[in-house]
Chains A and B, each alone.
Chain A
Amino acid sequence: MKFNKFDLIIIGVSLAIAVLSFIPSFTQKNYDRKIANIIVDGKTALKIDLQDSKNQEIDLDLKENNIIMVKKGTIGIVDASCKDKFCKNTGFISRPGQSIVCVPSRLIIEIEGVNNKYDAVLGGVQ
């Protein structure tokens, strides 16, 4: 029943999984533009160019009535009808790779970095 060296292996493997799943957040480079993808049910519902867009509130009529807010080049959720307010507590995000999740609404907002040469393809607000 005493802590032994084999237990350290389990803690080591767990830490390794933690580090591995952290890698995608580190590999983000600098981008010219930042696009917020609002994904509902696995499909992109809205793309917002965070540099160009004015401050606005977005209500997509989601299951948990999440109110999405765009403010000074950042995006966040300011209110939801659920109890734990997981999405609201994530705060406002603006760096590529960051994301906000609301599992009950099947909602994800993720920031995507785009370089200017692709501008013609992606455009601004769609």
Chain B
Amino acid sequence: MKTAQKGILCAVAIIFSYVEFLIPIPVPIPAFKLGLANIAILFCLYKFTLTDTLLINIARCIIVSLLFSGINALPFALAGGILSLLIMWAIKKLGKFSIFGISVAGAVSHNMGQIGIAILYVGNLSIISYLPFLILCSIISGILIAVITREVLKILK
């Protein structure tokens, strides 16, 4: 993978993260996001290697937290981002699952990673009660992201 391609994909992921800050989602769950940046990450995972995708994802997390969400959000973004990428990669490696299963697993594990860090940070388990709602929403957003990424992959063959 060329450095320029990495740069472009990273820029796309950052723009998607920024767009998410601008659109309020009509879901009564605070802290829920669509995960648009996962389009770029999923695309990269299909077209290139795990190492490339990991680099792009980590760079995206750092830049987005410096630009928009604040440096305090970095551990949460990294935990969710890295866990979901590794899960998506492992499930893709199994070969049985389509882009839908991979995307949903990524979205769900992203939330679990973030809730995990939040439990460590606050030192109390009761945050787990947010997980059911987050998982239900991320199943839907995961399917949506899979549809978009599938179409992008078709066009950019």
Chain B positions near chain A (C-beta within 8 angstroms): 28, 30-31, 72, 91, 96-101, 104-105, 108, 112, 118, 121-124, 126-132, 135-136, 138-139, 150, 153
Q: Which residues of A contact B123 (CB under 8 A)?
A: 39, 41-42, 106
Contact pattern, A 1-25, Cβ under 8 Å of B = 1, otherwise 0: 1111011011100110111011011
Asked if residues A18 and B101 are in contact (CB atoms below 8 Å), the reply is no
For residue B147, which residue of chain A has the nearest CB?
Answer: A3
Secondary structure at the B interface, as helix, strand, loop or mixed, is: helix
**B contact residues around A14 at 8 Å (CB):** 104-105, 108, 135, 138-139
Q: Mark A31-44, 1 if CB is under 8 A from B, else 0.
A: 00000000101100
Considering the complex, give the chain B residue whose CB is closest to the CB of A21. Answer: B131
Q: Does A74 contact B (CB under 8 A)?
A: no
Contact yes or no, B126 A99, CB < 8 A: yes
Give the chain A neighbours of B105 by CB distance below 8 A.
10, 14
> Whole-angstrom distance between the alpha carbons of A4 and B123 in the complex?
40
**Interface assignment of A101: CB less than 8 Å from any CB of chain B:** yes
Shortest distance in angstroms between B20's beta carbon and chain A's nearest beta carbon?
13
* Chain A residues in 8 Å Cβ range of B121: 103, 106
Q: Which residues of B contact A110 (CB under 8 A)?
A: 124, 126
**Is there a chain B Cβ closer than 8 Å to A77's Cβ?**
no
In this complex, the member of B118, B121, B129, B139 whose beta carbon has the largest number of chain A beta carbons within 10 angstroms is B129
With contact pairs A11-B104, A101-B122, A104-B72 given, residues A19 and B97 touching in the complex (Cβ less than 8 Å): no
Q: Is the CB of A21 within 8 A of B122?
A: no
**Bound: A16/B20 CA distance, A:** 28
Interface residues of A (CB under 8 A from B): 1-4, 6-7, 9-11, 14-15, 17-19, 21-22, 24-25, 39, 41-42, 84-86, 89-90, 97-99, 101, 103-104, 106-108, 110
Bound CA span A97–B139, Å: 25
Docked CA distance A84–B132 (Å): 20
Q: Which residue of B lies closest to A107 (CB)?
A: B122
Give CA–CA (A17, B112) in the complex, Å.
10
Whether A25 and B135, one on each chain, are in contact in the complex, defined by CB atoms closer than 8 angstroms, is no
Return A112 CB to nearest CB of chain B, in Å: 10
Given A42-B122, A103-B121, check contact A7 B101 (CB 8 Å): yes
Contacts of A22 in B (CB 8 A): 129, 132
Give complex CA distance A108, B135 in Å: 21
Known interface pairs A14-B139, A18-B132, A24-B129; A85-B124 also in contact (CB < 8 Å): no
